[in-house]
Amino acid sequence: MELLMSLVIGIMFAVSIYLMLARSMLRVVLGTVLISHAANLMLINAGLLKRGAPPFVTGDKNLAVVDPIPQALILTAIVIAFGVTAFLLVMAYRGYQELGSDDLSELRGVEDEH
């Protein structure tokens, strides 16, 4: 199962990097969304996909439980990625309005340098 997950994560990374290299702003934003998902999957994989009981204290010392920490970390990471993505989308839209283009090769901004 971990191997399959690793392959999925690898493919997601490849896809998101391909998207981030695109010239269209929206594709780059989608790329950042996807890459943060890939990182979250990687985190859950890091705790190993053990099949155990929920991590509650029951008194039974021999009961195998799932490691709760990666899930707590992912929850935090998802919230952060959600907030930043929302902000990035607004920025991309405002940028499109102000700059009149969503083509990144037109947004190099060298004209004001000497």
Partner 1 sequence: MNTNLIVLPVIVPMITGIILLFFYRQVKVQRVLAAISALAVMALSLYIVYAVQQQGILTLRVGHFPAPFAIVMVADLFAGIMISLSSLVSLACLFFSFGTIDAGKERHFYYAFYQIQVMGINGAFLTGDIFNLFVFFEILLIASYILLVLGGQAAQLRESLKYMIINMFSSVFFLLAVAVLYSITGTLNMADIAVKVSQAPEKGLLTAVSMVFLVVFGLKGSLFPLYFWLPRSYFVAPSAIAAFFGGLLTKVGIYASIRIFTLIFTYDTSYTHNIILYMSGFTMLLGVLGALSQNDFKRILSYHIISQVGYMVMGLGLYSPLAIAGAVFYIVHHIIVKSCLFLVAGLTEKVTGTTDLYKLGGLMKTHPVIAWLFLAAGLSLAGAPPLSGFFSKFALMQAGLQQGRYGIVFVAILVSFLTLFSMMKIFRFVFWGVTNKEHPPVQGLGYLSLVPPVAILVVLSVFFGLNAEWIMGVATASAEQLLDPQAYIQAVL
Binding site for partner 1 (CB under 8 A): 20, 25, 28, 32, 35-36, 38-40, 42-43, 45-48, 69-70, 73, 76-77, 80, 83-84, 87-88, 91-92, 94-95, 98-99, 107, 109, 112-114
Q: List 24's β-bridge partners, or say none.
A: 103
The whole-angstrom distance between residue 56's C-alpha and the CA centroid of its chain comes to 29
Between 18 and 87, CB nearer to partner 1? 87
Least gap, CB of 73 to partner 1 (angstroms) = 6
Residue reference for tokens 């037109």: 106
Q: How many CB atoms lie under 10 A from the CB of residue 56?
A: 8
Least gap, CB of 72 to partner 1 (angstroms) = 9
Contact 92, 101 (CB under 8 A): no
Of 103, 82, 83, nearest in space to 92 by CA: 103
Between 14 and 84, CB nearer to partner 1? 84
Least gap, CB of 57 to partner 1 (angstroms) = 14
